[in-house]
Each structure stands twice: as structure tokens, then as C-alpha cells.
Amino acid sequence: MRKIKEFIGKHANIVAGLLLILMCVLAIGSMRSENAIVDEIAHIPAGYSYLRYGDYRLNPEHPPLLKDLAAVPLLFIRDLKFPTELFAWKDDVNGQWESGWHFIYHIGNDANQVVFWSRIPMVLIMLLLGFFLFKASKEWFGDKAALIALALYALSPNIIAHGKFVTTDVGVAAFIFIAVYYFIKWLKNPRWINICKASIALALAQLAKFSAVLIIPLFIVSALIYAISLWFKSNRSLKTWIKLKLKYGGGLLLIFVFAFILIGLFYWPHVKNMPVDKIHAQIEVGLPSEKVITIKNVLDKMADIPALRPHAYYLTGFAMVVGRVAGGNTTFFLGEVTNQSFRLYFPVVYLAKTPIATIILVLTALVMALFSTLKAISLSPKKLLYDLTKYCIDHITEITLLLFIVIYSYTSITGNLNIGFRHLIPMLPMIFTLTGYEIAKLLKVQCKLFGFLLTVLFIWLAGATILSYPHYVAYFNEAVGGPKNGYKIVTDSNVDWGQDLRHLVAWVKENNIENIKVDYFGGGCTKYYFCDRIISSKDVGPESISESEAYDCSNSPFEEWHANNGKTTGWIAVSATFLQNSKWNKIQYGEMDYEWLRNLEPITTIGNSILVYYVTD
């Protein structure tokens, strides 16, 4: 044990590299047999169309950066076809879903090849975040803290699950963390070079996902705390305050302005070939409420000015996301289904989907942080202000990270969009960094028992993560019964994002199932994987091709099924999301649900997301 500790202490960089290699192997290995998930149907074709045609008509509700990166490998695939003659592309307003289905499945491309290579840049971004997590933690708190933080990150089933998909959650977490890293650099050393670095990092975060806007108030509050603390520590003169105000207020303003300019420059090649009438149509359709008529008029005027057109489209996407969050979504949570939000949703999901070893370490770090903070601050009224001021200056890094966690947690819990654990991912790097910092302080105490317990916890964490391979999306910890019980707590991207269709097809073949009814939720095309293709890409014209016209299922065991078809017998496979959400369809629309199926025990579960039953009567 001592030799292991000595090796880790002397070769922290090597250990960090090994952790990232393990993470990479687990991510790529698990994604090889997974088909497209829901959001990839929109994101992958959108990114390809941006790079290939310089046209941003698809998926404007997300910024382009991550989709661009995902599409880069696709440019090197020979004879890749895009449905440019399709009505959804030519005439529809944001016909992202129909265009996506055709691009990936119905136009003659190899869906598995397209999905796999699109995900490689996402894996690289996940590793980039791990690199910066280690680099930043090492600079701020030392080697031990950095390795603990990186281990928590690299062995996180939820990061591995979502870091490989062409979505925005891990990508925006990466660029938010990088932006915070360079912001703190500027805060402690407000030189021009750091203003430039912070501006670029902030722009990249905003180009990854619109939720990154939350770091703007974070930067303002953190800079204000730091400037006020420096003023209190100095002579507290008006001249000093003006100087600090110009240094930090002016510097922060420059960071924001430069970032906004960079956002427009990045958007420009994406809208240069896009007809202006398409932009106006998107503004009209994307902001349908009369309550925002003034905003719509401003955006329309901006779109008519070539220099402002990129920013007009950026702000249109931002406004669409705000409306989407306010509108909510259908959510299953602990037996209830609604289109509104649950205040306990994210706390419960976090506790259920986070490895127990990680929860123990985070709670230990929280207790340690409270204890050390109280110890550092005197309760004496005469010394309290001085201690607070000194504490804020010395610990501005920890304060900034903690502030982000508070701001993001509050926004998530009070928001009206309960989609899944993935929306908490941007907080995780901050949580892991602070946990590493506090646990590393405990390591300084010469206690063999603590070292032993820490080793046990990390072995437990590594074991839980490796044993979950390859089904990371549906990971749940042992306290709630593991992955097999996950769909009883929550659904959607917590459990079932449609990632396991290929696994279902393989199971059906292995077990020689002659007929199986399938109600599948996700980004896979059931007939693409179960049936024979009967239409070539040459036959694809302006009209949308239905699956019934494109595939021959006469020799397939597959039979499409839905809750509204009623009760049946024989083999039936139902996605967990459809199984549980059918309750809402019954309540809201009076449709039939899967109550008759929900009370049965499945014969097996495919990837813990598709439930397979055999019904006899």
C-alpha cells in the first residue's frame, strides 16, 4: 500500500493519464453497440449541414459549436448523402427531425458509421474536460486534490454515459469549467492576456449551450466579492475603490463585449448561405407568443442588417430555449406523471444516480468545508469583517466554484424542465474539484484508518463503474436497488434515451424469437435494424418517406406496437419511457395505457431501458 501511495505521489501525471485512458476505453467500448439516442437525430444532421452548406436552418435552439465538432469526421466519409431535396429541408421551418431521420436512416447512409464517428469528437471533449479538471485542481490545490477530483470524474458512470453522445451536456460542462478557470486567472492577475483568454473561453461556453449564460452573473458576483474584499483590506479610500472598479468592472465589461463579438464571428459562416426569409420564419415560429412581439420586431430588424444577422440568430435560439424551459415537459417521477416540474426531482435523481462512494466523499468534503470555514472566521464583531475579507481573498477560487453550484442548483430545482440527471452535469466538475480539495486536506492527517477507508471507497467506485459496462445511461446506485429499478423512479434520459435498440435486435436473434411487438422510444429506427431496406437513395425526393414504404418487414419478427393497441399476448418489448409516460396520455388525452403490463414482471430488460415481457393471457 505504501509503495502504491509513493508511486501515485511521484507520478501524478501518469496516474491521471491512466484514468483518462480508462475513461476513454469505457466510453468508446460502450458506444460501439449503441444506436442513436433521441437528440442525436437532430444534432448530427444539423452539424453536418452547417459545415457542408453554411446554413443554420436546423436546430437553432442550440448553439453550433458542439454540433460542428461532431460533424468534422463526417466530412471525410465518402459518398455521404444529405436530403437537400426533402421538403423538411427546403421549405419547412426547422424541419430538423424529418431531415435527421432521412439523413441517418432513409437516404442510404450507414447509420452505425455516421453515429459512431460523430461521437468521437464528443469523447475527446470529455477527455479535454478531464485534462482541465486535473490541470486546474493541481494549480489551485495540489497533486493529491487533483487526482481525487479526476478519479471522481473519470469513474463517474453519468459522465461516461453522456460524454459519448452528440448532445450538449458534457460539452457545455467542459467549456463552462474552462471559462471559470480562465476567469479566475484573470481575477487574480487582471492583465490583458488574461482578459483575452477569459473572453475566448466565455465565448466558447456560450457557443456550446445557452445555459452557459449562468456564468455571466457568476462572474459579476465573484468579481464584486473579490474587489470589495481587496478594498476592505486596503485603506478603503474612494481613490482605491475607483481604481478597483475600473480594473475589475472595466475588465469584466471587456470580457463580455469581446465574447459577444466572438460569438457573432463564429455564427457568421453558419448563416452566410442561409436565406434571410428563413431567419425571419424561424423568428416567427420560434417565438410564437404575442407577449414577446417587441423582441421579435427587434430580432427581425437585426436580421435585415448583415453585420447583426449572426447575433440575431444567436438571440433567437436563446429566446427559444427560454420558452422551452418555461413550457416544461412530460415527466415521470416516483409513480407520478405531469407536464410540470417536481421540486424534489433533481435532488432525488442526484442521490439515486450518483455512486454511493462519491456521495460519501462529497458529504465528507461538505462537512470539512463547513468546519474549516467556521474555524477561519472569528465570531468576534471586531474581527469578523477582517476575517471575512481575508477569507474571500484567499479562497476566491472555492467561493467561485461554490457560487456556480448554488446558482446552477437553484435554477435547475426551480425551473420547469425535469428531463434528467444530464442537466446537472455542468455542476459536477465543480463538485469534484471542491471534494478533491477537502479530502486532500484530510490526507495530511497521519491516520492509517482514513487512508484505508479512502482506498476502499475508490475501489468501490471503480468496481461500480466497471461492472456497469456497457449500460451507463441507466446507472443507479445500490441504495435504490441498482439499474434494474431505475425506471420505477424516473425515465427519459435517466434510463431510456433509446440507446438499446441494437441490443434488443441482438437479443431477439440470439433467442430465435419468431414474433415480438415493439413499442420503442428513441433515436433508433426500428425497421432499419429489424427489416430489409427496399428503397435506394435515388428514390428520395421532396416527399418524406415513411418507414412502411422504405422497409420490408415480411421476414422480420418485428411488429410495431403502441399502448393504444390495447392488451396483447406473446412477446412484447416496451421502452421504459413509453411504459411510464402512458399514464400521462391516459390522464391528459383519454388514451389507453400500459397498466395491464406495468403490473407484470419483465422476462428481461435490455440495457435496463427496454422491458421485455411474455404475456400468456
d(CA 437, CA 17): 20
Is a pLDDT exceeding 70 seen at residue 368?
Answer: yes
The per-residue pLDDT for 426 is 97
Residue for cell digits 459536477? Answer: 428
Q: How many Cα neighbours within 13 Å face the side chain of 335? A: 1
Neighbouring-strand partners of residue 552: 532
d(CA 94, CA 324): 15
Longest dimension (CA), the chain: 85
Measured in whole angstroms, the distance separating CA 433 from the mean position of its chain's CA atoms is 18
Is a pLDDT exceeding 80 seen at residue 291?
Answer: no
Q: Which amino acid is at 367?
A: V
Is a pLDDT exceeding 90 seen at residue 233?
Answer: no
The per-residue pLDDT for 3 is 57
The per-residue pLDDT for 417 is 79
d(CA 376, CA 370): 10
Instruction: Return the HEC string of 311-362.
Output: HHHHHHHHHHHHHHHHHCCCEEECCEEECCCCCCHHHHHHHHHCCHHHHHHH
pLDDT band at 414 (very low <50, low <70, confident <90, very high): confident
d(CA 420, CA 428): 14
pLDDT, tens only, 135-145: 999 999 999 99
pLDDT band at 322 (very low <50, low <70, confident <90, very high): confident
Mean pLDDT for the chain overall? 92
The per-residue pLDDT for 617 is 80
pLDDT, average across residues 414-421 = 84
Is a pLDDT exceeding 70 seen at residue 258?
Answer: yes
- Lowest model confidence (mean pLDDT) among 35-44, 421-430, 436-445, 529-538: 529-538
The per-residue pLDDT for 540 is 65
CB contact at 8 A, 391 and 228: no
The per-residue pLDDT for 419 is 84
More confident residue, 539 or 68: 68
Is a pLDDT exceeding 80 seen at residue 512?
Answer: yes
Residue 427 DSSP code:
G
Q: Which amino acid is at 66?
A: L
3-state secondary structure of 128: helix
More confident residue, 196 or 3: 196
Is a pLDDT exceeding 80 seen at residue 380?
Answer: no
The per-residue pLDDT for 327 is 61
- The strand order across the sheet containing 610-615 reads 558-560, 516-519, 570-575, 610-615, 604-606
pLDDT, average across residues 238-246 = 90
CB contact at 8 A, 321 and 210: yes
The per-residue pLDDT for 546 is 63
Torsion of CA 47, 422, 41, 525, to 10 degrees: 150
- Lowest model confidence (mean pLDDT) among 166-170, 313-317, 330-334, 549-553: 549-553
Neighbouring-strand partners of residue 558: 516
Instruction: Return the HEC string of 359-401.
Output: HHHHHHHHHHHHHHHHHHCCCCHHHHHHHHHHHHHHCHHHHHH
pLDDT band at 458 (very low <50, low <70, confident <90, very high): very high
Is a pLDDT exceeding 70 seen at residue 518?
Answer: yes
- Lowest model confidence (mean pLDDT) among 252-256, 289-293, 467-471, 530-534: 289-293
> For the chain, give me the number of helices (H) and strands (E)?
28, 9
The per-residue pLDDT for 381 is 67
Closest alpha carbon to 532 in 509, 555, 512, 514: 555
Is a pLDDT exceeding 90 seen at residue 289?
Answer: no
More confident residue, 451 or 436: 436
- 209 to 150, 260, 494, 540, 560: CA distances (angstroms): 23, 14, 20, 33, 35
The per-residue pLDDT for 528 is 93
- Lowest model confidence (mean pLDDT) among 194-198, 210-214, 289-293, 585-589: 289-293
pLDDT, tens only, 190-202: 999 999 999 999 9
Give the whole-number percent of the chain exceeding pLDDT 90.
75
3-state secondary structure of 194: helix
The grid cell for 491 is 425515465
The dihedral region occupied by 191, where left means phi > 0, alpha psi between -120 and 50, and beta the remainder, is: beta
3-state secondary structure of 105: helix
pLDDT band at 591 (very low <50, low <70, confident <90, very high): confident
Is a pLDDT exceeding 60 seen at residue 599?
Answer: yes
pLDDT, tens only, 526-578: 999 999 988 765 666 676 666 667 788 989 999 999 999 999 999 999 999 99
Measured in whole angstroms, the distance separating CA 354 from the mean position of its chain's CA atoms is 15
Is a pLDDT exceeding 70 seen at residue 378?
Answer: no
Is a pLDDT exceeding 80 seen at residue 345?
Answer: yes
pLDDT, tens only, 464-511: 999 999 999 999 999 999 999 999 999 999 999 999 999 999 999 999
Q: Which amino acid is at 346?
A: F
